Structure 1
């Protein structure tokens, strides 16, 4: 199957983050089975969302993972000029939700499976597809947990998030928390008879603002990132019904983005301490993933540079699942087709050239891992 046809099939599944994805996973599993490639389906605790892991080549030998997520953000923006879940071709642009983030990479990998399966691989190529990446990388930890039962410890993982097919060595980690306040409603003329939930949130919000300023002024820095320090922000506040009603409930969504070596959850501790001290407050961690930091001269960096034809980029501002693989002891790097600036927007697209370029990179990995006369493919 050519990569455009595969992308068309994948885009047609409305696998919006937080919703069931079984139909898409079944489609991929059946496609791989038609090529005599077995796959394991790993369920998440939700019961209606699944990861998929497949191996081409000898599973008992260390190889490489090609990783992508199959969930997409919602497509409710009014700027779409067509059905977001029907791939639309205009010139060399292929429009559709998930076309660049990141079903394009997944399509490129899957379209290359017939050729990869025909190669005599000395080391395996694994395909790892995850769910709910857009909700804070919620799906892939369940897949990573199962890896020791599925294959030998991999030598590395290439996460195909859009990077212009330029290898990316580093990105920040992220954690997000939702702080909720419970108050007591009443008429605003008698605040003494109620308890204002929005007011109850203020100490936690002040703690975050103070920590954000501290990180900016005195926190550790890493010149690879922009900005070069860890950041915190209050991204969303909800609560209240009317100006003359004491709000009964209120909530705030807070995120932290941490430079390499800093635990993003630790950045939220000032707010969490406030929550722990006030029975009117509660907190729920809604996202958490570590940063990525791969050495410039790591073997995986050199390999991906050869495969992509581009020198590695020091860092990017967005986050990926790569840090979770690295935390599990698997070296990881980001390298995928397209521009991240097109993601999460109406008329998201990838070009045919970008799609074919990713496919060629995957096939070059297969060539690197083929059995060579008298030798085994090198690391």
Structure 2
């Protein structure tokens, strides 16, 4: 099948994060089975979601992982010119939810399987399909934990997030946390009988603001990023039910994005410690999502390979995060490089071009030649 034909099938499957991915995983398994490729099904702890891992070539030799996520973001509230789950071709563009982020890459991975099989690979090419990337890279860690049972230690991992097929070397880490404050309700005419949860929440918000300002002044700094420091933001505040009721609940959702070398958890821990010190209220917190930063590679091997295969010079950093940080944390050299543009991701009328799919397949043809040499 051509990449465009595979992409049409993938776009028609709108499996969203946080829910079963049985349709998408089933399609990939069936596609690979028709080509005689065994596919390991790796269930996640949720019970209704799976990662998939397949190998073309020898398993006992170090090779390369091509990694992409199967989930896409929702389309609710977006005004599309056509059905987002039916691929539309117009003027060399292919429109559909996930076309760039990142079913275009998955389509190229699958369309290239016959070429990989014909290449007499001396080093394997592994196909890794993960779930729930769009809500904090929740799925891929369970697959990474199983890799030692599935293949020899890989030479590298190419995470195909849309980068205009430009190799990307690094990104920030992230942790999102929900903070809960519980007071005591009362009638607003007798506020002394209640404990207002919004007031201590305001103290935490000021602490978050001041800590963010301190990071901007004191660093650490990494000039590859803009801004060059770690950032801390309170994004959602919810509390109270009516103006004549003393609010007994308030919730804050905050996010840290940290430069390589600084764990987002070290920043979050300062906020959690301040939360725990609040008097007269009950407090709790829970992690919503997290992934580590992707630092620049220690050697040039994977960078040189991708620059040669794509014809593009590597980009030092991007502002978005990916699963590459998790592969790196597991000791696997990792790089971001995929077709399409991140500027089209998550937006209405998301698209990828036919030329971008062709260029990605050309890159993968080159990888196959490299693995066969």
Bucket of the pairwise TM-score, normalised by the shorter protein: over 0.9
Moved over 4 A (4+): none
Matched, 1:263 2:266: no
Distance 1:193 1:352 in 2: 66
Cα deviation for residue 210 of structure 1 reads: 1.6
2:355 corresponding residue in structure 1: 353
In structure 1, list runs of 5 or more residues that go unmatched: 371-376
1:373 corresponding residue in structure 2: none
Distance 1:107 1:236 in 2: 36
The answer to whether the Cα contact below 8 Å between 2:100 and 2:351 also exists between their aligned partners in 1 is yes
The answer to whether the Cα contact below 8 Å between 1:208 and 1:270 also exists between their aligned partners in 2 is no
Cα deviation for residue 321 of structure 1 reads: 0.5
Q: Deviations over 1:41-94 (max 9, x none)?
A: 111111011110000000110000000001111111231122211111121111
Q: Deviations over 1:272-322 (max 9, x none)?
A: 102333451110011111111233852000111111111101111111000
TM-score, normalisation: structure 2? 0.97
Q: Deviations over 1:148-200 (max 9, x none)?
A: 00000000000000100000001101111011122222222221111222223
The answer to whether the Cα contact below 8 Å between 1:338 and 1:351 also exists between their aligned partners in 2 is yes
Q: How does 1:128-147 map to 2 (within 5 A)?
A: 128-147=128-147
Residue in structure 2 matching 1:290, options 286, 289, 292: 292
TM-score, normalisation: structure 1? 0.95
1:195 corresponding residue in structure 2: 195
2:277 corresponding residue in structure 1: 277
2:150 corresponding residue in structure 1: 150
Describe the SS at the equivalent of 1:268: helix
Q: How does 1:89-238 map to 2 (within 5 A)?
A: 89-238=89-238
Q: Deviations over 1:119-141 (max 9, x none)?
A: 10000000111011111110000
Q: Deviations over 1:212-241 (max 9, x none)?
A: 111100111111101111101011112222
Distance 1:151 1:97 in 2: 32
The answer to whether the Cα contact below 8 Å between 2:78 and 2:347 also exists between their aligned partners in 1 is no
Q: How does 1:41-52 map to 2 (within 5 A)?
A: 41-52=41-52
The answer to whether the Cα contact below 8 Å between 1:203 and 1:274 also exists between their aligned partners in 2 is no
Coordinate RMSD, CA, aligned = 1.2
Matched, 1:339 2:341: yes
1:319 corresponding residue in structure 2: 321
Describe the SS at the equivalent of 1:23: helix
Describe the SS at the equivalent of 1:313: coil
Distance 1:325 1:114 in 2: 26
Distance 2:322 2:293 in 1: 8
Matched, 1:304 2:303: no
Distance 1:336 1:296 in 2: 21
Distance 1:296 1:166 in 2: 19
